[in-house]
Amino acid sequence: MAVRWLLLLAGLPTFLLGVFVWVVIQHFPSAKMPSTLKHPAKLLFMYYMLQYLIALGNILEKLRICAMPRFLQFLQGLMMIKKDPNVLVTDMHFGTVPVRLFKPKELSSKPHRDFYHGLGNLLASETDSVVLMVGYRKLPDYHHPVLANDCLNASTYFLKNLESFGVDPFRVVLCGESIGAWAVANVMQILPSIPSLPQIQAQVLIQPIVNLINFQLPSHQQNKNVPFLTRDMMFNCMLKYLTIDLSWKDAMLTGAVIPLEKWKKYRKWLSYHNIPRRFWSQDPQLEFFAPFNETAYLETKHVWSAEISPVLADDKIIAQLPKTFLVSCENDILRDDVLLYKKRLEDQGVSVSWYHVEDGFHGCLMLCDKKCFSFPCSMKVLNAVVSYIKGI
């Protein structure tokens, strides 16, 4: 028995190294490092490490030991975050939804672990504001609409109890990044219809996904293989969350799920014509949809709801939104989602401020406090958001 354990322990490093080499060989040909990126080697290494962890998670999932998303969440939970002596951090629940409250100028009693914890500390300290982070439920156990509902319920509770949290009801801002920005866009289209709630002063959407229909926009062509959010990664996460079978991926990518009558109605909001020409490729592959597949449409038609694609909300819903700060990154597959939503808001008279990061990539903000893993674009996004919030 001892010999078997020794053989297993000896073989484990070889196995782990082999998986890493396989990941590098698999992703090296497709990974794209645009010329505007700063420190491309560092980003490429971090991307390989992420793909390596995903590969290990997939192996554990196939062995029925642990689901891949849960494995990544476990690793995330191991990350120790340094206390900020100027911020008091409190974990609590709003009903069944876990939240984390950051209050500036006081001492936290214990360290916390979370990838976004440092960002919460920075926002609370730099803006001298109370920051609430929602611990919405995630894959693999929870699917749409759990994430959006958790954010809506937590926001509603918080808004009804602002006084108890020491928050000025005239300076409330909703802020989100990536899928969190999608949740903010979703929640902000609902909150105005709930009576007696304080009015939100602004929404801050950092690299949001607001369109799950047209995947032939310029940024989807240009940045489909740029870390961290490649097209394959985005689709794998998105389809799992929406409980759409991965076999419909190609039909969605090629537009075969788009009925002609719906495209005629919504192209004014979804077409590449809404994207400024300077963001087009020199030789753009403009929208050319595959023949309509009714079966694929029936399996994916829920993406046409404003709950999933906020850019499709009615004009009257868009028009009542508060002033908005949008952040886009040049090397992000979702860059054009930001541009679509920017035009959508402006066309309905919403005041929009827009910050574009030429050397930015998807997810760069969450690295702002990660020291050697941070990038210049990380601080650019953070400073822009802080400046905007302080100006409200």
C-alpha 242/C-alpha 232 separation (Å) is: 15
Length reported for the chain: 392
pLDDT at position 150 over 90: yes
Helix (H, G, I), strand (E, B), or coil: what is residue 139?
coil
pLDDT value at position 36?
87
CATH superfamily of 136-392: Alpha/Beta hydrolase fold, catalytic domain (3.40.50.1820)
Helix (H, G, I), strand (E, B), or coil: what is residue 111?
coil
> Over the stretch 219-253, which tens digit does the pLDDT of each residue have?
999 999 999 899 999 999 999 999 999 999 999 99
pLDDT value at position 288?
84
Residue type for 148, please? A
- Reported as a pLDDT band with limits 50, 70 and 90, residue 115 is low
Structure tokens that stand for 251 in this block: 């039909």
The average pLDDT across 17-32 equals: 88
Helix (H, G, I), strand (E, B), or coil: what is residue 321?
coil
Q: What is the mean pLDDT of the chain?
A: 91
pLDDT at position 47 over 50: yes
Output DSSP code: residue 356. Answer: E
Of the candidate ranges 9-13, 47-51, 140-144, the one whose mean pLDDT is the lowest:
9-13
Name 1's Cβ contacts closer than 8 Å, sequence gap at least 6. Answer: none
> Over the stretch 102-114, which tens digit does the pLDDT of each residue have?
998 754 444 444 6
Does 336 participate in catalysis according to the annotation?
A: no
C-alpha 286/C-alpha 271 separation (Å) is: 9
Does 332 participate in catalysis according to the annotation?
A: yes
Residue type for 151, please? C
Task: From the candidates 84, 332, 336, 369, give the one annotated as an active-site residue.
Answer: 332
Range list of H helices, the chain: 2-27, 40-62, 68-77, 117-127, 146-160, 179-188, 218-222, 231-241, 249-254, 260-270, 294-300, 315-319, 335-347, 376-390
pLDDT at position 195 over 90: no
Choice between 18 and 354, residue whose per-residue pLDDT is larger: 354
Does 178 participate in catalysis according to the annotation?
A: yes
pLDDT value at position 353?
98
Strands 97-104 and 87-94: antiparallel
Task: From the candidates 129, 178, 309, 378, give the one annotated as an active-site residue.
Answer: 178
Name 173's Cβ contacts closer than 8 Å, sequence gap at least 6. Answer: 129, 200, 201, 202, 203, 204, 389, 392
pLDDT value at position 80?
65
C-alpha 323/C-alpha 341 separation (Å) is: 13
The average pLDDT across 168-182 equals: 96
Nearest to 110 by CA among 95, 99, 100, 98: 100
Of the candidate ranges 116-120, 150-154, 280-284, the one whose mean pLDDT is the lowest:
280-284
pLDDT value at position 176?
97
- Reported as a pLDDT band with limits 50, 70 and 90, residue 285 is low
First to last CA, the chain: 67
Nearest to 225 by CA among 217, 213, 234, 214: 234
The average pLDDT across 307-333 equals: 98
Helix (H, G, I), strand (E, B), or coil: what is residue 177?
strand
What is this structure's pTM?
A: 0.91
Residue type for 101, please? L
Task: From the candidates 117, 362, 369, 378, give the one annotated as an active-site residue.
Answer: 362
Choice between 188 and 3, residue whose per-residue pLDDT is larger: 188
pLDDT value at position 219?
96
67 contacts 56 by C-beta, under 8 angstroms: no
- Reported as a pLDDT band with limits 50, 70 and 90, residue 116 is confident
> Over the stretch 63-114, which tens digit does the pLDDT of each residue have?
999 999 898 888 887 776 667 788 999 999 999 999 999 998 754 444 444 6
**What is the number of other CB atoms lying within 10 angstroms of the CB of residue 274?**
20
CA triplet 148, 152, 155: central angle to 5 degrees?
Answer: 140
